[in-house]
């Protein structure tokens, strides 16, 4: 809407400017035209005056001619007529005649009717001794004519006759007929007497605003206007006259007429139009360029704004996504912590469950040395009674051994059952397996499982947590014992292999794993539900523990049973640091 108003306003300004330019250019052009027209009019007037002057002088000269003195003599008139005819021919005058004081024409070059001139104003003026002149349509020839009458003075100084020269206007006009611009000579009565446009002859100006109008027929379109000091005519006077014209007047008192010129304004108008059109075109082109440039800038700005808003939207969305992410991270951390807690609880539960499984064996394991201690103590007391202090000492030594073994078992159990976070670090893999075997020893003996385990003499340092690693191996040994229940051949072999990693393999002679893909899933168990065994947590807990040390645990079947492989990192000083 605003743009439309700007365009309309600009168009209005341009048209205003163009109008101004038109007016100014028109005035200038009309001024120049007027100068030229004035010169043209002066030229035409001067030429006419000069031509007429010639006839006037002829009249004056001929009036004094001696041939006119002897008209009353026989042959005098013929001689005089010959003379006048000669003069008329040479000057192309229409007629040359001589009249006496009464106005009776005595001799005429061409008109044989010898009319009377009495009463004609030019004749009367000549009778008074002055030079008479007039114009009109001469009767015998029906032609426009100019009259010049000169007095002929007698010896007494009185006017005795008048010589009249009749000038043929058609002949005078002939040279400049049709030339441009249109020039009119209007007499005092307001009638066009001479013109280079014959169609305007005898048009009359009756005063008022009607301008020149033909003597007969309907009035013709005419309008007059002023442009500064110039008179502008608007007319419809036929194909040889302009529609818009400049009208100039020059008075010619010598011949009693006014010369008028009607100049076509078309060139001036054309020039003005051209100038106005050029200015308007330049302005419009400039305006269009300006408009295009601003349009371009506007579209750019709009695109920019759209872009900026989009960027803002994106930024907003991003920051929202960011806070959302942060929230999610916090949630995940919380979940992780909860998971860790749950895992720790699971580990503990797993340990307790393993302890539960082992409790019967352990109590048997503890019971046996206790019984033996009691036996040895009794025997020792008996030996002391008998005074065999040496034997008693031996028994005491046995008792001490037994107590030491019991203490080891209890220490292991305590360490295993302890529910506290334990730092990772250097662990002797051999010692770990020894402890696991110790803890499982009761079950192994109870179920009659042979153990094939030859610990290497040197410690094998691994990276991990001792109690948790023990738990892993206890789990694996327990699973193997479970699997082999009811089998004839019951044997577990444990090996340590050292390469760039440490690998512990535990094989059994059981039926093998039913579904090796699933064994590490929590709560996956093939062991009878409701029995003391079979939570399905042992391996999943072990898996989590080994992973937490950066190690790996796998289960697979061999020809003779199942094989579990635990991979651990070697302990290095850099890792500790």
Using DSSP's 3-state secondary structure scheme, residue 150 falls into: strand
Q: Which of 536, 550, 552, 570 binds ligand ATP (CB under 6 A)?
A: 536
Nearest of 218, 217, 250, 248 to residue 233 by alpha carbon: 248
Show contacts of 383-392: CB within 8 Å, 24+ apart: none
Q: Which residue is nearest to Mg ion (CB)?
A: 538
Residue 433: Cβ-neighbour burial (10 angstroms; 0-12, 13-18, 19+): buried
Contact between 508 and ligand ATP (CB under 6 A)?
yes
Contact between 256 and ligand ATP (CB under 6 A)?
no
Measured from the CB atom, the residue of 30 and 539 that comes closer to ligand ATP is 539
Nearest of 253, 195, 259, 193 to residue 204 by alpha carbon: 193
Query: Could you tell me the smallest distance in angstroms from the CB atom of residue 537 to ligand ATP?
Result: 4
Contact 560/416 with Cβ under 8 angstroms? Answer: no
| Alpha-carbon dihedral angle through residues 74, 75, 81, 85, given to the nearest 10 degrees | -170
Measured from the CB atom, the residue of 250 and 503 that comes closer to ligand ATP is 503
Measured from the CB atom, the residue of 27 and 554 that comes closer to ligand ATP is 554
Q: Which of 539, 553, 566, 568 binds ligand ATP (CB under 6 A)?
A: 539
Query: Could you tell me the smallest distance in angstroms from the CB atom of residue 479 to ligand ATP?
Result: 3
Measured from the CB atom, the residue of 25 and 510 that comes closer to Mg ion is 510
Which of these ranges, 260-268, 305-313, 348-356, 537-545, lies near Mg ion under the rule CB under 5 A? 537-545
Contact between 471 and ligand ATP (CB under 6 A)?
no
Q: Which of 25, 259, 538, 544 binds Mg ion (CB under 5 A)?
A: 538
The full DSSP string for 13-42 is HHHHHHHHHHHHHHHHHHHHHHHHHHHHHH
Dist. CA 538–CA 518, nearest whole Å: 13
Query: Could you tell me the smallest distance in angstroms from the CB atom of residue 353 to ligand ATP?
Result: 6
Q: Scan residues 546-575 and list those touching ligand ATP (CB under 6 A).
A: 562
Give start and end residues of each alpha helix (H) in 418-561: 429-447, 466-483, 538-548
Strands 95-100 and 159-168: antiparallel
Six-digit token pair at 231? 């008179």
Dist. CA 171–CA 183, nearest whole Å: 16
Dist. CA 100–CA 160, nearest whole Å: 6
Contact 476/545 with Cβ under 8 angstroms? Answer: no
Which of these ranges, 119-127, 161-169, 534-542, 567-575, lies near ligand ATP under the rule CB under 6 A? 534-542
By CB under 6 A, the count of residues binding ligand ATP is: 25
Q: Which residue is nearest to ligand ATP (CB)?
A: 538
389 contact partners, CB below 8 Å, separation of at least 6? 383
Measured from the CB atom, the residue of 438 and 508 that comes closer to ligand ATP is 508
527 binds, among Mg ion, ligand ATP, none (CB under 5 to 8 A by kind): ligand ATP
Q: Scan residues 471-490 and list those touching Mg ion (CB under 5 A).
A: 479
Which of these ranges, 82-90, 170-178, 359-367, 506-514, lies near ligand ATP under the rule CB under 6 A? 506-514
Which of these ranges, 150-158, 305-313, 374-382, 530-538, lies near ligand ATP under the rule CB under 6 A? 530-538
Question: Site residues (CB under 6 A) for ligand ATP?
Answer: 353, 475, 479-480, 482-483, 508, 510, 512-514, 519, 524-527, 533-540, 562
Query: Binding residues for Mg ion, per CB under 5 A?
Result: 479, 538
């Amino acid at each position: 809407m605003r743009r439309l108003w700007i365009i309309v306003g600009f168009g209005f300004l341009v048209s205003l400017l163009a109008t101004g330019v038109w007016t100014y250019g028109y005035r200038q052009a009309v001024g120049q035209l007027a100068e030229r027209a004035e010169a043209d009019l002066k030229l035409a007037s001067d030429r006419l005056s000069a031509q007429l002057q010639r006839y006037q002088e002829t009249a004056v000269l001929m009036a004094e001619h001696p041939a006119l003195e002897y008209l009353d003599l026989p042959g005098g008139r013929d001689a005089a007529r010959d003379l006048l005819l000669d003069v008329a021919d040479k000057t192309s005058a229409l007629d040359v005649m001589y009249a006496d004081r009464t106005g009776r024409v005595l001799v005429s070059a061409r008109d044989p009717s010898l009319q009377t001139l009495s009463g004609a104003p030019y004749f009367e003026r000549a009778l008074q001794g002055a030079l008479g002149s007039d114009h009109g349509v001469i009767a015998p020839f029906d032609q426009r004519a100019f009259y010049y009458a000169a007095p002929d003075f007698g010896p007494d100084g009185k006017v005795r006759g008048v010589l009249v020269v009749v000038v043929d206007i058609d002949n005078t006009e002939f040279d400049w007929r049709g030339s441009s611009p249109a020039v009119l000579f209007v007499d005092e009565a307001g009638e066009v007497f001479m013109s280079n446009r014959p169609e305007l002859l005898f048009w009359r100006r009756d005063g008022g605003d009607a301008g020149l109008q033909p003597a007969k027929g309907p009035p013709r379109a005419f309008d007059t206007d002023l442009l500064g000091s110039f008179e502008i005519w608007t007319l419809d006077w036929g194909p040889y006259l302009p529609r818009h014209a400049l009208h100039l007047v020059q008075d010619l008192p010598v011949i009693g007429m006014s010369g008028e010129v009607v100049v076509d304004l078309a060139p001036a108008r054309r020039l003005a139009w051209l100038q106005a059109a050029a200015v308007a075109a330049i302005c419009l082109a400039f305006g269009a360029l300006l408009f295009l440039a601003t349009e371009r800038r506007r579209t750019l700005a709009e695109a920019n704004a759209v872009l900026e808003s989009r960027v803002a939207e994106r930024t907003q969305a991003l920051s929202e996504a960011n806070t959302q992410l942060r929230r999610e991270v916090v949630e995940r951390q919380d979940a992780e912590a909860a998971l860790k807690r749950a895992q720790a609880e699971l580990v503990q539960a797993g340990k307790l469950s393993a302890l539960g499984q082992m409790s019967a064996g352990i109590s048997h394991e503890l019971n046996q040395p206790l019984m033996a201690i009691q036996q040895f103590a009794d025997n020792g007391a008996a030996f002391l009674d008998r005074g065999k202090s040496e034997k008693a000492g031996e028994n005491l030594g046995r008792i001490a051994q037994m107590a030491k073994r019991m203490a080891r078992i209890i220490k292991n159990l305590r360490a295993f059952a302890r529910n506290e976070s334990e730092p990772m670090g250097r662990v002797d893999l051999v010692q770990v397996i020894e402890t696991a075997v110790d803890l499982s020893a009761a079950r192994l003996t109870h179920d009659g499982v042979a153990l094939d385990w030859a610990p290497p003499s040197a410690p094998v340092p691994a990276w991990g947590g001792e109690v948790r690693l023990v738990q892993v191996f206890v789990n694996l040994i327990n699973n193997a014992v479970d699997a082999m229940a009811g089998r004839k051949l019951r044997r577990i072999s444990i090996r340590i292999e050292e390469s760039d990693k440490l690998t512990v393999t535990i094989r059994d002679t059981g039926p093998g794993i039913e579904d090796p893909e699933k064994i590490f899933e929590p709560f996956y168990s093939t062991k009878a539900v409701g029995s003391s065994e079979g939570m399905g947590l042992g391996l999943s807990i072990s898996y989590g523990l080994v992973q937490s040390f950066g190690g790996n645990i796998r289960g697979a079947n061999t020809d003779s049973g199942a094989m579990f492989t635990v991979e651990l990192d070697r302990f290095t000083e850099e890792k500790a640091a």
